[in-house]
Amino acid sequence: MTLSRPRVLLPGATLGVVGGGQLGRMFALAARVMGYRVVVLDPDPASPAGQVAEVHLRAPYDDAVALMRMGELCDAVTTEFENVPAASLAMLARRTHVAPAPQIVETAQDRLHEKRLAERYGCATAPYANVEDAGELVHAFSVVGAPALLKTRRLGYDGKGQARVEDLDGLVAAHAALGGVPCVLEGRLPIAREFSVLLARTASGEIAFYPVAENLHRAGILDLSIVPARIPEPAAQAARDMARRIAEGVDYQGVLAVEFFLLDDGRVVFNEMAPRPHNSGHYTLDACVTSQFEQQVRALCGLPLGDTRLLTPVVMVNLLGELWTPQPRWEALLGHAGVKLHLYGKTQARPGRKMGHYNCLAPTLEDALALAQTTRRALGVV
């Protein structure tokens, strides 16, 4: 049984984050600026979050001794990514407050369960079918047809763990190439825009939405986030309504990102959710009154949520490891007054790895987009 919801936690309290990547780093930085102590659990001795935490527990996420120590040290614990073992979060929840709840994180780890949750709260999804094993491929194809995407049910992110399918033979080959693991076959839709809704919700039910972000991807990895999004307001409101129903339905506490498709015919379709701050919310670090990471601290600690107003149009640009040859031309960014650079402290760069991002701020969205394109060209992004 989990502990009851925590009292309000004020500066001086100790907050824990399971996971030591860039999201944990930015959470830890926000928490420390606000006067909280931070404990990070991550096995990597050079983890980005561990570098800025006061205590870095260098152990696997399922290490019982480290989890017990974290539970003793922390007044509340959150997570920076959804693939933390749910059993580890449940163990922590027996010793301290954990938000979001372990069962919500567990649902987000499985694409099938995630889609069923979205449907339960009135969200439209792409046509899909479960593929538990190779024996279900023919039935799944008869339900969904082609073109389609075959996605592993677990551990897929940034375009990994998925394959395009054009016919039944291609489906069989794709399933074998993905290791024959449980998958979801998902129909491909005529997509006009991809966008995300970022919200925060407290244990008392207070909820705040950030401006909707329009997202452009390259090879399955987020490339640009454009805010305000270039989508009709009725579509944005429909997405906010769906995200609200999910958050309220599961009694969510923390920052939640929900990704959507806007179809050519104007319909809004649920794609997936992330029970944590999100890459598409990094624009909030410079362009909103309250960043998504300060908001995560506030929600975890039972504080009133911060102001989510957009102060300026912004385009967020991801920086991936292929630009490190050996270093990007930082002068191409830092010579512009409207560029805000954020690096993640990762010691090794490799293609496709998120090493940092920068936000382009300007008086108009057109100017922000122009600044993003100018700086990308200067960095050598094709």
Strand partners, 56: 40
Is residue 47 exposed (0-12), middle (13-18) or buried (19+ Cβ within 10 Å)? buried
Domain assignment of residue 200, yes or no: yes
Q: Average pLDDT for residues 328-338, to the nearest whole number?
A: 94
Judgement on whether residues 174 and 269 belong to the same structural domain of the protein: no
Domain assignment of residue 6, yes or no: no
Domain assignment of residue 90, yes or no: yes
Judgement on whether residues 162 and 237 belong to the same structural domain of the protein: no
Three-state secondary-structure class, residue 342? strand
Q: Average pLDDT for residues 158-179, to the nearest whole number?
A: 90
Domain assignment of residue 235, yes or no: yes
User: What's the pLDDT at 157?
Assistant: 67
Phi, psi of 298 (to 5 degrees): -60, -45
> For the chain, how many structural domains are there in total?
3
Q: Which two tokens stand for residue 22?
A: 């860039």
Confidence band for 4, pLDDT divided at 50, 70 and 90: very low
Residue 170 predicted with pLDDT over 60: yes
pLDDT tens-place string over residues 301-320: 999 999 999 999 999 999 99
CB 10 within 8 A of CB 301: yes
User: Which domain does 144 fall in, by range?
Assistant: 127-187
Residue where one domain finishes, among candidates 165, 187, 209:
187
CA dist 229 to 97, 192, 262, 263, 316, Å? 35, 12, 11, 15, 12
Q: Average pLDDT for residues 269-291, to the nearest whole number?
A: 97
Which residue intervals of 155-263 are DSSP H helices? 168-177, 233-249
% the chain with pLDDT above 70? 97
Domain assignment of residue 7, yes or no: no
Three-state secondary-structure class, residue 177? helix
Q: Which two tokens stand for residue 117?
A: 């949750």
Judgement on whether residues 83 and 144 belong to the same structural domain of the protein: no
User: What's the pLDDT at 2?
Assistant: 45
The whole model's pTM is what? 0.94
